[in-house]
Amino acid sequence: MSEMSEITNRPLAPVDWEAPVMSVEEAVVTAIVAARRVYNEVTWVSWADAWLLGRDRSSGAAQAAIAAATEDVDYSERDPLTTYAALAARNSAIAAAWYRTGGRALGICSVEETARHAISVARYVLERRAE
């Protein structure tokens, strides 16, 4: 099994919003892994793989991933699960971009809250696709 498939094939545990059981880095990693299971845009996936493998965790790379995922967020005409998958991807990249600075993502949420949101949305997409 490749290093990447070992990372991306881990089971996704439910997110407990009340219990801070993950470190911030664990939350960001889990958010990226979760989003990678439901979102497959090439630029974003390349960034996610590089981030997870520790090859490129730069803010610039994360910003490009955010932009790529944002292009797929369309509430009006697209299949809702595709939009939700893009939201999970975008939020995981936002969390990663802010992770090193300790800043607040989107100016209102903590990095961990943004990561947890990405995990929950990705989990929702996985569950709906399994139905």
Gap between the Cα atoms of 72 and 82, Å rounded: 8
**Residue 68, Cβ neighbours under 10 Å: how many?**
21
The confidence score (pLDDT) of residue 122 equals: 94
Q: What's the average model confidence in pLDDT over 85-96?
A: 94
pLDDT, mean of residues 35-39: 95
Q: What is the pTM of this model?
A: 0.81
pLDDT at 96: 92
Six-digit token pair at 10?
Answer: 């881990």
The tens digit of pLDDT for each residue in 41-83 reads: 999 999 999 999 999 999 899 999 999 999 888 776 668 899 9
Arithmetic mean of pLDDT, 84-94: 94
Task: With beta carbons less than 8 A apart as the criterion, state whether 22 and 30 touch.
Answer: yes
Q: In this predicted structure, what is the pLDDT of residue 6?
A: 58
Specify whether the CB–CB gap between 94 and 66 falls below 8 A.
Answer: yes
Alpha-carbon distance of 13 to 34, in angstroms, equals 10
Q: Mean pLDDT over all residues of the chain?
A: 83
Tell me whether residue 43 is exposed, middle or buried, using C-beta atoms within 10 angstroms of its C-beta: 0 to 12, 13 to 18, 19 or more.
middle
More confident residue, 13 or 131: 131
